[in-house]
Amino acid sequence: MKLLVIGSDRNLFKKDSDIWNRYLDYGKLFKEIHIIVFSHRKLSNKDIKIGDNVFVYSTDHIFKSFYLWNIYKISKKILKSVPLSVDSHSWVVSSQDPFESGLAAWMIKKIYKISLQIQIHTDLFSPYFAKESFMNKLRVLLAKFLLVRADGIRVVSERIKNSLITSGYSSNNIAVLPIFVDTEAIKSAPIKIDLHKKYSQFNFIILMASRLTKEKNIGLAIEAMAGLAEKYRKIGLVVTGDGPELGSLQAKAKELKVAENVVFVGWTDDLPSLYKTSDLFLLTSNYEGYGRTIIEAMVAGLPVVTTDVGLAGEVLKNKESGIVILVGDKKALMAAIENSILNKEELSHIGRNAVGVTENLMIKEQYLELYRKITESINYGK
């Protein structure tokens, strides 16, 4: 089987990035993999080869409105005379989302008569997703148009699968394949950065790791810090990641007079060190597809407080292997953090349970085999 992927993760152009290495592994499963990545010309991403049979192409567009045309030109070169060949049904075009990527992939399906897989990595039917922006409202409508025209749908959590079924999609067409987490790599990673030594002014460190975007609702965590910092003056929130909300979040911390308790450290490639030297991991998202950082924190034995999104209730069980609160509930968040500060033994127990849960996750070989089976089971017009 040959795979054509449409996506937007420009880390594919970075050698040895997580997604680069992931597609090297996928290359062992298929005859060829061709990945077309949305990329503006000013980013200077060029077509590259990352394995003997894995190729990455940049749309290299000047204006966003031209990306469909550029994808068509690239896919035409890749597929060549496929429509005239019996080989056409050995191809699958896979979009990394049911939105802009999905539209491009559906276009390729219609032109070349090849199978279409749509992947869903976010909880698009969460009410918070559509509320976030007018563009997201349009994306939901686009997804509804595309999903019924897909030959296969891959989702990353049971939560998303259930939301699709509730919305009327057949469970027979939906496969659940979570995001792979290399648990052994996290366990064996040495501690290079000790947050308690680096920020010795804090005696209790809360870690957040994510892109700084609206849906992550990191402002809620800052508000909770403002409610707790007067009583617990040595509590600290360390936020790793970057994104468009950085400036407004820094301003919010200053406005609420907790700038000394909230530290923004930017991106790091050494998350295991941060997991292993913090006291609590926090995720306050309005919606998530999965929540890989939660799994990574659990593997490291770091207790987790999360809103009821992504894998909450599926992998992480409330009051057993983590703490789950309602989305946007500041009072519950403050109570969960305060209880974590006051009840260290209970917190350690939750951390140990979390490690036990993650021991049942798939190893890489199992994950790759399931990925192969799901992809090869997609038949045109099924």
Same domain flag for 176 and 189: no
Same domain flag for 102 and 188: no
Same domain flag for 210 and 262: yes
Query: Does any domain span residue 121?
Result: yes
Q: Quick one: average pLDDT of 84-104?
A: 84
Same domain flag for 217 and 149: no
pLDDT at residue 10 tops 90: no
Three-class DSSP category at 377 = coil
Kindly report, residue by residue over 11-69, the tens digit of the pLDDT: 888 888 889 999 999 999 999 999 999 887 766 678 889 989 999 999 887 776 678 88
Same domain flag for 135 and 209: no
pLDDT at residue 132 tops 90: yes
Count: domains in the chain: 2
- Dihedral of CA atoms 97, 99, 100, 102 in degrees, nearest 10, equals 60
> What is the structure's pLDDT at 9?
86
> What is the structure's pLDDT at 89?
65
* CB 199, CB 277: distance < 8 Å: no
- Checking DSSP bridges between strand 91-95 and strand 2-7, what pairing results, if any? parallel
Same domain flag for 107 and 145: yes
Q: Quick one: average pLDDT of 4-8?
A: 93
> What is the structure's pLDDT at 18?
87
Query: Does any domain span residue 382?
Result: no
Three-class DSSP category at 43 = helix
Same domain flag for 158 and 209: no
Query: Does any domain span residue 381?
Result: no
Q: Write phi, then psi, for 125 (nearest 5 degrees).
A: -95, 5
> What is the structure's pLDDT at 44?
67
pTM here?
0.91
Same domain flag for 210 and 284: yes
Three-class DSSP category at 184 = helix
Position 87 confidence tier, pLDDT thresholds 50, 70, 90:
low
Same domain flag for 123 and 245: no
Q: Quick one: average pLDDT of 226-235?
A: 95
pLDDT at residue 194 tops 90: yes
User: What is the chain's mean pLDDT, rounded?
Assistant: 92
- The domain that holds 283 is classified in CATH as 3.40.50.2000
Q: Quick one: average pLDDT of 166-170?
A: 91
> What is the structure's pLDDT at 88?
57
**Segments forming the whole domain that contains residue 250:** 184-358
Same domain flag for 160 and 259: no
Same domain flag for 200 and 328: yes
Position 4 confidence tier, pLDDT thresholds 50, 70, 90:
very high
> What is the structure's pLDDT at 297?
97
Lay out the sheet containing 174-176: strands in order across. 48-51, 54-58, 32-37, 2-7, 91-95, 115-120, 152-155, 174-176
> What is the structure's pLDDT at 261?
97
